[in-house]
Structure 1
Amino acid sequence: MVNVKKQPRKTRRQQQADRRAVAIKLVNLANGVEQPLPLAFQKFVSKDGTNYEISCSRATSLPAETLSWIFSLMEKNMKRPYQESPWGWDAEKKQAELSDPAALHLVATSNGQNVGFSHFRFDLDDDKEVLYCYELQLESVARRKGLGRFMMHALETMALQNQMQRVVLTVFKNNATAVPFFHALGYKLDSTSPQGSDAQHYVILSKQNLSRAD
């Protein structure tokens, strides 16, 4: 009879290191995909018959005028909420964030005009592989037509296809439009969201990829 030597059980730290290594590999693979947006999400027709085209590009591949519009829309929609929060509005920091080489952007156009964008990244969050939605911003003309919901569905599908555990996002608590919008899409309080203080001005929400175990 041959004695088989038992392999020593891995410590919790070793297990966490292994899990992190897997997460890093998945994030790197996702970031290596040249065009992560599925063909089915490159066109959208709203209930009122408006046609939209959706593209996905790295910030470094976008024309300067598109990046300029992205920042302008961000400033128009979000400057005041930032100013009213403890974070404040830092235009230089926000421009750097939106144009960072790691940033990916969905850009929605209609009749050749930019009408909405989503800044997202494949990244690690709390040592888990996630698609992090940094921004979803629409021009007023494109709101309440289902475009925002469609773009979120596109992000969720890209997360699924690239084996991310969840889609994560941060939202100001007092954003009376965004909070119920994300709740209606099934987003719930994430375990990383700040706890224990009514003074916290933001929450972190997430939606689990049901094909993946935590």
Structure 2
Amino acid sequence: MQKKARKTRRQLLASKAAVQQQLINKANALTNPLETLDKFHEYITTDYTIKLSCIRAKDAQPECLSWIFDIMERNMKDMYEQSTWGWDAAEKQAELTEEMAWYLIASCNDKFLGFSHFRFDIDNGDVVLYCYELQLESEIRRKGLGRFMMSALESMAYQNQMLKIVLTVFKRNLSAIQFFYTLG
């Protein structure tokens, strides 16, 4: 009788990494990760009927990119300047338009109201949907849109077999900490 060869730790890790990369590649090969999630195409408040769309950052129209950079600077420049990272507009633009970046965009009547910048990635050995940004215009905050967008991201993560959503929040951004804490 022949003994079955046991895989070494290195072989097991290589096999796991290959499976993870296949999941990331499959998620990134999608045209629109939101497409089959019908309940996340529209969000209705008392004042707005908001459409959600999902596109690759590299496919975003110039007016969309311009608005994204503008809202990032309006909402986050001070936080970055107060951190050890500092604010570097060119570096932020490069991050926001990186090859693997996706946008979840909320708009109403051709007006941009919010966006999330995210990627399907590997973080600390896990396949994740990494939420780099969630930014809303001030007039739409505290109306449930941020929660709705995070639910859409969670559903996209689940649909694509990502283990979790990962994000980073500045310690000084108390409202964001409270928001994400309430989401669990």
TM (norm. structure 1) is 0.83
CA deviation after TM superposition for structure 1 residue 127, in Å: 2.7
CA RMSD of aligned residues (A): 1.0
List runs of 5+ in structure 1 lacking aligned partners: 187-214
**Which residue of 32, 55, 58 corresponds with 1:57?**
55
> Residue 34 of structure 1 aligns to a residue in which SS?
coil
- In structure 2, the partner of 1:44 is 43
| Aligned amino acid, residue 87 of structure 2 | W
The CA distance in 2 between the partners of 1:182 and 1:102, in whole Å, is 24
- 8 Å contact from structure 1 (residues 130, 166) kept in 2: yes
> Residue 177 of structure 1 aligns to a residue in which SS?
helix
User: Does 1:7 pair with 2:4?
Assistant: yes
| Aligned amino acid, residue 9 of structure 2 | R
The CA distance in 2 between the partners of 1:80 and 1:159, in whole Å, is 30
CA displacement 1:35-82 (0-9 Å, x = unmatched) = 110222110012x24210011000111111100100100010000000
User: Does 1:156 pair with 2:159?
Assistant: no
The CA distance in 2 between the partners of 1:9 and 1:51, in whole Å, is 57
List runs of 5+ in structure 2 lacking aligned partners: none
Q: How many residues align?
A: 182
> Residue 169 of structure 2 aligns to a residue in which SS?
strand
- In structure 2, the partner of 1:136 is 134
The CA distance in 2 between the partners of 1:13 and 1:185, in whole Å, is 37
> Residue 5 of structure 2 aligns to a residue in which SS?
coil
- In structure 2, the partner of 1:24 is 21
CA displacement 1:75-132 (0-9 Å, x = unmatched) = 1000000000000001000001111221100110122210100000111112321100
TM (norm. structure 2) is 0.96
CA deviation after TM superposition for structure 1 residue 14, in Å: 1.7
Question: Which deviates more from structure 2 when the two are superposed, residues 65-74 or residues 12-21?
Answer: 12-21
| Over 4 Å off, 4+ runs | none
> Residue 87 of structure 1 aligns to a residue in which SS?
coil
The CA distance in 2 between the partners of 1:6 and 1:51, in whole Å, is 64
The CA distance in 1 between the partners of 2:171 and 2:9, in whole Å, is 36
- 8 Å contact from structure 1 (residues 20, 128) kept in 2: no
